[in-house]
Structure 1
Amino acid sequence: MGLPVSQRFKPLDFYNQSLISGYQLLPFRFIRLDAKRYVLTNEVGEYVVLPQNLLQDFVHKLLVPNSIVYNQLKSKHFLLDADSSVALDLLALKYRTKSMQIANFTSLHMFVVTLRCDHSCPYCQVSRQSHDRTAYDMSAAYAHKALEFTFQSPALNIKIEFQGGEPLLNFDLIKEIVLAAKQKNLTHQKNLQFVIATNLSQINEEILQFCLEHDILISTSLDGSEDLHNANRPRPGMNSYQSTIQGIQRVRSVLGIDKVGALMTTTKASLPRVTEIIDEYIRQDFHSIFLRPLSPYGFAIKTKTYEAYTTLEWLEFYKKGLDYILQINKQGYQLVEDYTSIFLNKMLTPFGTSYVDLQSPAGIGISAIIFNHDGEVYASDESRMLAEMGDKTFRLGNLQTDTYEQMMLSDALLDPLEQSLCESSPMCQDCGFQAYCGSDPVYHHATQGDYVGHKAFSGFCKKNMEILRHIITLLEDDPEAKEILFSWVRN
């Protein structure tokens, strides 16, 4: 039997009096930044860095009104006093804005048009098939059912991304999907965008002209200089690097310099060569780079490539790389580290992110979804990769047998979404970095066997916490770096 209301809560006059005589604490969390300082964050991602003595004074309501620290905490919604007449309404507005991507719903729809590939990358997350095994191509029937599914999303912005294998090995289907999607969009009136994720080995004039006509973007992989790229991404003839660079140049000559982007993956061989990798991106006139670690899915598990290095080793790689990127920017060449930029946008703007791994609840299904070549539908690209090794935990259904409603309301999606809400996850709910992080259920299922995982042993948590400490330290202690990092915040 519960306690009477009068015993659970103080009378209303008590709270009114507290505002007249001092200030009231608004919800916040804190975490140690270094030996002397703490980071305080509130529900909407505003942050303040305080030494321990001022944190204690704040909590015990001993701060002097209108002092610098007092006004800083008040302006960022950490405290409420008698003059804060609109503070709670403004805080609620900021919270709604941060959560807008949930209401916007699924925008990224990925089509695996084939598993065939002419590369044999040891870190590949997909069980790729040989060049001539057309049984692993998506059928036109599945493609059109996937389009029906895509246009049922309430999202105004729809991105269709073609993946593989090497998707250009089934370019005829890509053409069919693009033309059919644009025809459907005459009715649906979405903001429609297309991306092809390709190694560029199959690029030709016909493909480029079609991409030009339909404003299709290109995403490719570039792991570093020639010997490193060829070792990481081998193909017959060992000319993967040459093929990629020539492909980038051809795309730029027809589509424009901003129509092709590149991603790298960090292997064990990459660890001592981060500055060389960054130099290669500069040499190829890229202005962004994603220092991306290996993922524990698919073929990367089978070959044990994922176990090639520890989270701490990758963090050293990242920190050294970020320091070098900041030096490059100081010398006048603008180069953005993309993962850092995602965090900065969450920290310094009123908006959330569409990046699946850093959402609460997780972005699987509700931000991105993937249609496999065989009609199977998965909650994310990583879910599909997990299924390649026989684990279909995140399989939502099949385009042939299941409806949109059945898949989007399935326990395979709703259960991990419920358990990935950071605000209620063990250890996440108290973490001072919660507002910037996520609770990736696919990663934790793959590495620990359940959606939540034990955060003390989570490489995902260790990685993000150390990156955030590093970023905030730079913002607090290095004015020149702060100016550069602020320039990475996107509108």
Structure 2
Amino acid sequence: MNDMMKSEYSILPFNFRRLPGQRLLLVNPSGEFIFVSSDNFNDLLNHNLTPQNPVYFELKGKHFLADTDFDFAQEMVATQLRSRKSFLRHFSSLHMIVVTARCNFICDYCHASSAALEQQRADMTWSVAKKTVDLIFSSPSPILKIEFQGGEPLLNWPIIREIVQYGEFLNRFAKRQMEFVICTNLTLLTDEMISFIKEHKIMISTSLDGPKPIQDGHRKTREGYSGYDAFRKNLQRLRDGIGPESGSALLTITRTNLNKLPEVIDHYVELGFDGIFLRALNPYGFARQNIAQLGYSMEEFVAAYKPILRYLIDLNIQGIPFAEYYTTLLLQRIFTAFSTGFVDLQSPSGAAISGVIYDYNGEVYPTDEARMLARTGDKRFRMGHVLKNSYEEIFAGPLVKELVKKSCIEVLPGCASCVFQAYCGVDPVRNYVETKDIVGHRPGSDFCKKNTLILEYLFQLIDENDPDVMDVFWSWITRRPLEEIRHDSSDRNRS
């Protein structure tokens, strides 16, 4: 085709990547995607694509090209992009409070490097707690989620109780959508705690790495008893007192259970959980010290992730509803234009913008990882102190501005041209830990390797378009039963 016959259309911005099988994945800034052949890709770039080719209208409909409606196409992309950035509108909604650094466990992968039981000075005082709650209500966010962390937060139960009651009192006037979560190993749970948790509708998040040998192997109690046995007993007491669905569990993957994930999944199902978060080990605290024994490469992690995702899909097909939460977050970002609210997958970084953590001593940090780093003596990310600084000084100070400025994925080296940019995020604290620089060397980072490999695999599955796989994915995204998704799919096919 000569230049006089070239099609008259404008090519809108997009990034691309060749997937196995020679198909190319194209993604625009708003996250719309399309798979095209090499021939169609070359024709698009050379302005040789014509309306007679069906892919022409698919590219136009998804705003990769525009012919007579260039301004409209730009506005549509901008509207979708605003939806993806909606988490910026209300600022911090997740507020994590470390009510104590003490813990009755000494886990060899503990990110927080917990304090011993006798270190009473590692407990939050009421003066710090009250000021922390006052600061939380200074946030403009219509949603306030207060998450109690430790150490083991139940060791300072009186402060948890006071914070909940004071927060609910303030909310009579503030009228925010308010939630409370306690992250606990469950071993110290009492009947009084269960009654209070039920009365105030507090959510419980606990830890489970697998069956007893795996759980007790890394999560050791300071007093020598089996933490797993206490966990099982109190999980049942919690469910008897509140309901069968009370409590979610968080998995830490070490070298011990990396190749035993089917066994771990089966144990989660056996205990009545309906999902799991496949979380790679983070390089903080004791985990960093013990990385030679506990760690693995991101290539090894994703090599284990791929078959376990297939295992989970098969479980759902067999009638056992069970989701993988990290995959679900990525799928939500791929198939919808809405913000997921997950701090690690935001640009600019969700650090301080979406979530913040208040240490037991009143110091404020943008992420839990930043607080963990401070435990080692490096307070690079200290935002301020609840008793010494105002809300404006803490949340509009130079550190937060620097984090925002240096965590916009759209302009970061190595990210600006990445096809997965719209679905990924930025972790400035981890960049600093690995390279001593907030921006870091993105292509060589574990964060980048993990997300790139997982996203590439997910897009391969999406391109294959297996009906069973896609129905399971949509059941996870929409949180609807698989049978409902299949019924809707069959209705669409008939129509």
Q: TM-score, normalised by structure 1?
A: 0.93
Range that drifts further, 451-460 or 300-309: 300-309
Structure-2 change in CA distance of 1:303 and 1:85 (3 Å)? closer
Once the two structures are overlaid, the 10-residue window that deviates more, 34-43 or 84-93, is 84-93
In structure 2, C-alpha distance between the alignment counterparts of 1:53 and 1:340, rounded to whole Å = 31
Contact 1:230 1:238 in 2 (8 A): no
In structure 2, the partner of 1:330 is 317
1:446 counterpart (419, 423, 433): 433
- Give the aligned partner of residue 484 of structure 2: none
> What's the CA shift for 1:83?
5.5
Say which of 404, 409, 416 aligns to 1:422: 409
Is 1:437 aligned to 2:424, yes or no?
A: yes
Amino acid aligned to 1:127:
S
Matched residue of 2:260: which SS? helix
Separation in 2, partners of 1:329, 1:427:
37
Q: Distance in 1 between matches of 2:148 and 2:224?
A: 26
Residue number in structure 2 paired with 1:282 = 269
* Residue number in structure 2 paired with 1:354: 341
Task: For 2:21 and 2:58, locate their aligned partners in 1 and report how far apart those are by CA, in whole Å.
Answer: 22
In structure 2, the partner of 1:228 is 214
Deviation for aligned residue 1:378: 0.3
Determine the structure 2 residue equivalent to 1:398: 385
The separation in 1 between residues aligned to 2:174 and 2:279, in whole angstroms, is 36
Q: Are 1:122 and 2:126 counterparts?
A: no
- Counterpart of 1:40 in 2: which secondary structure? strand
CA distance in 1, matches of 2:272, 2:353: 34
**Alpha-carbon distance in 2 for matches of 1:98, 1:316:** 30
Write the distance in 1 (CA, Å) between the matches of 2:19 and 2:406. Answer: 28
Could you tell me whether the CA contact under 8 Å between 2:22 and 2:38 is conserved in 1?
yes
Structure 1's unaligned 5+ residue stretches are: 1-17
Quick one: distance in 1 between partners of 2:37 and 2:474? 24
Match of 2:482 in 1: none
- Whole-Å separation in 1 of the counterparts to 2:252 and 2:315: 21
SS at match of 2:265: helix
1:66 Cα deviation (Å)?
A: 5.1
Deviates more, 1:252-261 or 1:164-173: 252-261
Residues 1:300 and 2:284 aligned together: no
- 2:483 equivalent in structure 1: none
* Distance in 1 of aligned mates of 2:20 and 2:405: 33
1:314 maps to what in 2?
Answer: 301
Contact residue 163 and residue 197 of structure 1 kept, 8 A: yes
Amino acid at match of 1:144: K
Q: Deviations over 1:258-281 (max 9, x none)?
A: 331001000110122011011111
Paired position in structure 1 for 2:489: none
| Structure 1 letter corresponding to 2:347 | S
Asked if structure 2 preserves the Cα contact closer than 8 Å seen for 1:295 and 1:306, the reply is no
Q: What's the counterpart of residue 364 of structure 2? A: 377
CA distance in structure 1 between the aligned counterparts of 2:449 and 2:57, rounded to whole angstroms? 33
Distance in 2 of aligned mates of 1:452 and 1:483: 38
Task: Give me the whole-angstrom Cα distance separating, in 2, the residues matched to 1:408 and 1:327.
Answer: 45
Is 1:193 matched with 2:179? yes
Question: Which residue in the other structure is 1:460 paired with?
Answer: 447
Task: Please give the alpha-carbon distance, in whole angstroms, between the structure 1 residues aligned to 2:292 and 2:95.
Answer: 28
In structure 2, the partner of 1:182 is 168
Seq. identity, %: 40
Q: Which amino acid aligns with 1:357?
A: D
- Which has the higher mean CA deviation after the structures are superposed, 123-132 or 165-174? 123-132
- 1:325–1:336 contact (8 Å) kept in structure 2: yes
Q: Is the 8 A contact 1:122 1:305 kept in 2?
A: no
Kept after mapping to 1: 8 A contact 2:312/2:323: yes
Post-superposition shift, 1:70?
1.3
CA contact (8 A) 1:299 1:389 kept: no
Equivalent pair of 1:359/1:438 in contact (CA under 8 Å): yes
**Alignment: residue pair count:** 473
Superposition pairs of residues 144-293 of structure 1, within 5 angstroms: 144-235=130-221, 236-293=223-280
Q: What does the per-residue CA deviation read over 1:118-170, in whole Å, with 9 as the maximum and x for residues that have no partner? A: 11110000121122221100000000111111001111010000000000011
Counterpart amino acid of 1:154? P
Which residue of structure 1 aligns with residue 85 of structure 2?
Answer: 99
Matched-pair contact (CA < 8 Å) for 2:7–2:50 = no
Say whether the 8 Å CA contact 2:255–2:293 is kept in structure 1. Answer: no
Q: Post-superposition shift, 1:480?
A: 1.6
The alpha-carbon deviation at position 53 of structure 1 amounts to 2.1
Once the two structures are TM-superposed, the CA of residue 88 in structure 1 deviates from its matched residue by: 2.9
Distance in 2 separating the partners of 1:391 and 1:419? 20
Query: Cα distance, 1:307 vs. partner?
Result: 6.2
**Deviation by residue 1:96-130 (Cα, 9 ceiling, x = unmatched):** 11111011210000110001111111000012112
Q: Partner of 1:194: helix, strand, or coil? A: strand
Deviates further, 172-181 or 291-300: 291-300
Q: Deviations over 1:237-285 (max 9, x none)?
A: 3411121122222222222233310010001101220110111111111
Runs of 4+ in 1 over 6 A off after TM superposition: none
Alpha carbon RMSD of aligned pairs, Å? Answer: 1.7
Deviation at 1:85, TM superposition (A): 7.2
TM-score norm. by structure 2 comes to 0.93
Q: Distance in 2 between matches of 1:140 and 1:408?
A: 22
Match of 1:5 in 2: none
Aligned twin of 1:73 = 59
Q: Distance in 2 between matches of 1:390 and 1:226?
A: 34
After TM superposition, give the deviation of residue 383 of structure 1 in Å: 0.6
Instruction: Summarize the Cα distance change of 1:429–1:198 in structure 2 as closer, same or farther, 3 Å threshold.
Output: same
Residues 365 and 85 from structure 1, CA distance in 2 versus in 1: closer, same or farther, beyond 3 angstroms? closer
